[in-house]
A = this chain, B = another copy of it.
């Protein structure tokens, strides 16, 4: 099975390499950015292009473009042979609709960084297609990457993506704010790593609501007021502190 990969970002890099390792033939990489296309194509030992008019023949066209780039890119592609898949949590199948009926979704629920090695085997993959035959093909592709493959429709995949934004993107940003607070005091972010690991580790054993700790849980005003005073020169952090503390307190009261 020959795959043409559209995109050369973090998702494309990881999926491309692991699909190749799983026995698929990567034939071409497209990226608008020539250097990215070239670099990934080199790693995969295949052709590259930065022109959508120059896509070659393949069995699969795997679109790992940014969500806001995919609809525009599809409009520029002259014809639609093969099977078209995208890897987005938030886009539906209808993005392919004007062009092809042989389409589906292969969404890995994970945060990808270029430099970091990542074993996809435990990563949940969510697949979708209107064609039962194609769903079987996509299932077989996903199974070669991961032991956790689930069928999920677009609507619920969107909520899954929204939940992932809270659990991953927003949590990581709170790490950033914590790192800034420490840096301002000449303290190393590394000090927080055992705490961050344990916070993530705890929710393997108990629900996050049960795992909640800290001053906001019982609204210990001595501490929360003191923290807000310490954040006085950073109104954005202070607003987040207030809002998250109130949300924790309310959530706890609902037990």
Residues of A bordering B, CB below 8 Å: 10, 66-68, 90, 109-113, 115-116, 118, 122-124, 150, 156, 158-160, 162-179, 181-182, 184-187, 189, 191-200, 202-209, 211-218, 220-223, 226-227, 230-231, 236, 239-241, 243-244, 247-248, 250-251
Contacts and interface: CB of A to CB of B under 8 A. Distances in A.
Assembly of this chain: how many copies?
2
Given A176-B251, A230-B159, A181 B166 contact: yes
A216 to B, nearest CB: 6
Nearest to A122: B194
Given A159-B187, A179-B209, A187-B159, A199 B172 contact: yes
Contacts of A211: 111, 113, 172, 175
Given A199-B172, A244-B170, A194 B124 contact: yes
B169 A115 contact: no
Given A10-B213, A174-B174, A187-B160, A113 B208 contact: no
Given A192-B164, A220-B68, A202 B111 contact: yes
B247 A156 contact: no
Contacts of A195: 109-111, 164, 167-168
